[in-house]
Amino acid sequence: MLNRRSFLQTTACATAVSALLPGFAGDARAAIDQVQFFVPANPGGGWDQTARSMEQALKSANLIKGAQVTNVGGAGGAVGLPQFVNQWKGRGNALMVAGMVMVGALITNKSPVKVTQTVPIARLTGEFEVIVVPNESPHKTLKDLMTAFKADPAKVSWAGGSAGGTDHILAGMLAKASGGEAKKVSYVAYSGGGPALAALLGNQVTCGVSGWGEFSEQVKAGKLRALAISADKRQSGIDVPTIREAGFDVELYNWRGVFAPPGIKDADKKALIELVTKMRDSAPWQEQLKTREWTDVFLAGDAYGKYLDAEITRIEAILKDLGLA
């Protein structure tokens, strides 16, 4: 028989061991203490910035003790996603940062691995798109531009990011909303904002499409004219009309969010949602949003999962219109 001292020692040992074993309540605490971020893109891009901003905010708010970021770039996330799904399966403290660009990339690349194989945790930020023209352009409004497109689509060239990405999708949506055909959009894909900007300033293309941050300085300097922004309403500090104000029923933003790998426990999912929710409400995260000019579009848990399903359906339909799916 055990005396009281032996019993307490045995109980303490058992408790310590259980905290280290999978399947015990200690796992939920581990998800809060240490986070492993998976970024299916190279360092420096939007998803990478989001992961590192999350790391800073979580640490500053004393919500975690440490974090690690792993980058696996390529094909808009289509290269990294299979690794996250297969090799990170069951990790209760892992978060992948991705967004709308991945949804489009998986469809255009006909990827056998789907983002729906992950566990949606939360939608975090959104960046609205803006349509710009060189300042000397004859197109003073978005209606002018779309009238020219309908008259002769081949004479209106659109500069943007990768084919099938957010910029291309918006151009297709505008074409369709104006009564034209998305497939007739003369889209010129550039590897980054710099080359697209150079093409615009050199009058090599008719118009450009990108996130507001890419063109804002040139718009403020008077070198580019912003015709419309893809927001649901006018944005504070941005004197640009919405696409709907121009008469076209189009709204779009390049959203980013976080996902957990498949196979995690319900307790892990709950802990991650709670962690990200606390981060979103924290002063350090709000400061990150302000500094980086990101729009807060927070949506967590099952509601985010439903949004994701609807977004996949919508984007697939647009890409089919563009002839890319």
Read off the pLDDT band of 213 (50, 70, 90): confident
Residues 166 and 103 in one domain: no
pLDDT of residue 22 exceeding 60: no
pLDDT of residue 31 exceeding 50: no
Give the pLDDT mean for 272-277. 98
The CATH number of the domain holding residue 203 is: 3.40.190.10
How high does pLDDT run on average in the chain?
A: 90
Read off the pLDDT band of 3 (50, 70, 90): very low
Residues 132 and 235 in one domain: yes
pLDDT of residue 300 exceeding 50: yes
Residues 34 and 108 in one domain: yes
The confidence score (pLDDT) of residue 214 equals: 86
Give the pLDDT mean for 113-129. 97
Among residues 187, 215, 246, the one where a domain terminates is 246
pLDDT of residue 29 exceeding 60: no
Give the pLDDT mean for 259-274. 97
Residue 299, both tokens: 């949506």
pLDDT in tens, 225-255: 999 999 999 998 899 999 999 999 999 999 9
| Distance in angstroms (rounded) separating the CA atoms of residues 254 and 212 | 11
- Residues 208/131, Cβ–Cβ less than 8 Å: yes
For the whole model, what pTM was predicted? 0.83
Among residues 198, 214, 246, the one where a domain terminates is 246
Give the pLDDT mean for 121-137. 96
pLDDT of residue 18 exceeding 50: no
Residues 161 and 51 in one domain: no
Among residues 246, 264, 297, the one where a domain terminates is 246
Closest CA to 50 of 271, 233, 259: 259
pLDDT in tens, 135-148: 999 999 999 999 99
Q: What is the CA radius of gyration of the chain?
A: 23
Sign of CA dihedral 301, 120, 60, 44: negative
The confidence score (pLDDT) of residue 9 equals: 45
